[in-house]
Amino acid sequence: MARMKFLCDAERCIECNGCVVACKNEHEVPWGVNRRRVVVLDDGVPGEKSISVACMHCTDAPCAAVCPVDCFYTTDDGIVLHDKDLCIGCGYCFYACPFGAPQYPQKEAFGVRGKMDKCTFCAGGPAADNSDAEYEKYGRNRIAEGKLPLCAEFCSTKALLAGDGDLVADIYRERLTRRGGRPQQWGWDTAYVEKG
Amino acid sequence: MTIKNATLTAAAVVLATGLAGCWDATEVTVHNPGEYKGEADPLLAQSASARTDTLTKRFQLVQADR
């Protein structure tokens, strides 16, 4: 059984934010909500690393464990989704999530939060596939169309991979084998060693 | 207690403490979520294995290294 996972290859990510733009555009994500963002470590220092972060669709999802209204569910292939009609915007999932994935649109004055929004692995939510209701609440359902998340498909350096964890791991393992050397190495030749 | 016994005892305590530091719990804490109470997702009605082939082909087409 496939288990869908994201992986960001820090050696390849060039902080172009293409994944962020692709996500926001594909799902018409409102201002103030970032389902995906690029984090830079040691910014400006030689050897700096960037990684693209969103919901990692945890196998043992802490957001689902703490949700007081049980609005989370996991598909057979490991995609963690939620029902916005049940969500009360309490923010527990935000505190539980190690990646800061849950986002809350500001609905009214005084910081009143709306219902939680997060990466859906482009799999929509509990509404008819690619219906207007689904698109409005959760964004496009590319999985139902036989496609994978646009952020990964859009990535120009193939730093961000999304798909069956086994396939993603195979690609990353092959890259690491080709690169060799210590993990502290950096530079163009480290990320893009040609296939032999 | 002789000096030899005291030394052996101290060595045993140090060894036990050192070995205790090497031990690590391997049990995984699984936080069981509650039962989902929302609407049914049509995606859940489909078998994931039915879409695995399609998504694998898509992955090889778009994301595999060339």
* Distance (Å, whole) CA A99 – CA B46: 29
How close does chain A come to B4, measured CA to CA in Å?
47
Identify the residue among B31, B36, B56 best suited for mutation to test binding to A, counting A beta carbons within 10 A and taking the highest.
B36
Across the interface, do A164 and B40 touch by the CB < 8 Å criterion? no
Q: Give me the pLDDT at residue A21, please.
A: 96
- Residue-wise pLDDT for A132-145, tens only, equals 999 999 999 999 99
Taking alpha carbons only, the member of A181, A191, A184 closest to residue A45 is A184
Across the interface, do A148 and B58 touch by the CB < 8 Å criterion? yes
**What 3-state DSSP class applies to B1?**
coil
CB-CB neighbors (< 8 A) of A123 in chain B: 43
- Residue-wise pLDDT for B25-54, tens only, equals 777 766 788 899 989 999 888 888 888 999
CB-CB neighbors (< 8 A) of A79 in chain B: 43
Across the interface, do B65 and A128 touch by the CB < 8 Å criterion? no
Across the interface, do B44 and A195 touch by the CB < 8 Å criterion? no
Identify the residue among B59, B61, B66 best suited for mutation to test binding to A, counting A beta carbons within 10 A and taking the highest.
B59
Q: Give me the pLDDT at residue A186, please.
A: 58
ipTM, interface predicted TM-score of the complex: 0.85
Per-domain residue ranges of chain A: 4-191
CA end-to-end distance (rounded Å), chain A? 32
Determine the topology of domain A4-191 in CATH.
Alpha-Beta Plaits (3.30.70)
Q: Are residues A141 and A44 in contact, defined by beta-carbon separation less than 8 angstroms?
A: no
Across the interface, do A163 and B40 touch by the CB < 8 Å criterion? no
**Partners of A116 in beta bridges:** none
- Residue-wise pLDDT for A48-106, tens only, equals 999 999 999 999 899 999 999 999 999 999 999 999 999 999 999 999 999 999 999 88
Query: For chains A and B, what is the number of CB pairs under 8 angstroms?
Result: 115
* A178: confidence class by pLDDT, cuts 50, 70, 90: confident
- Residue-wise pLDDT for A29-38, tens only, equals 988 899 999 9
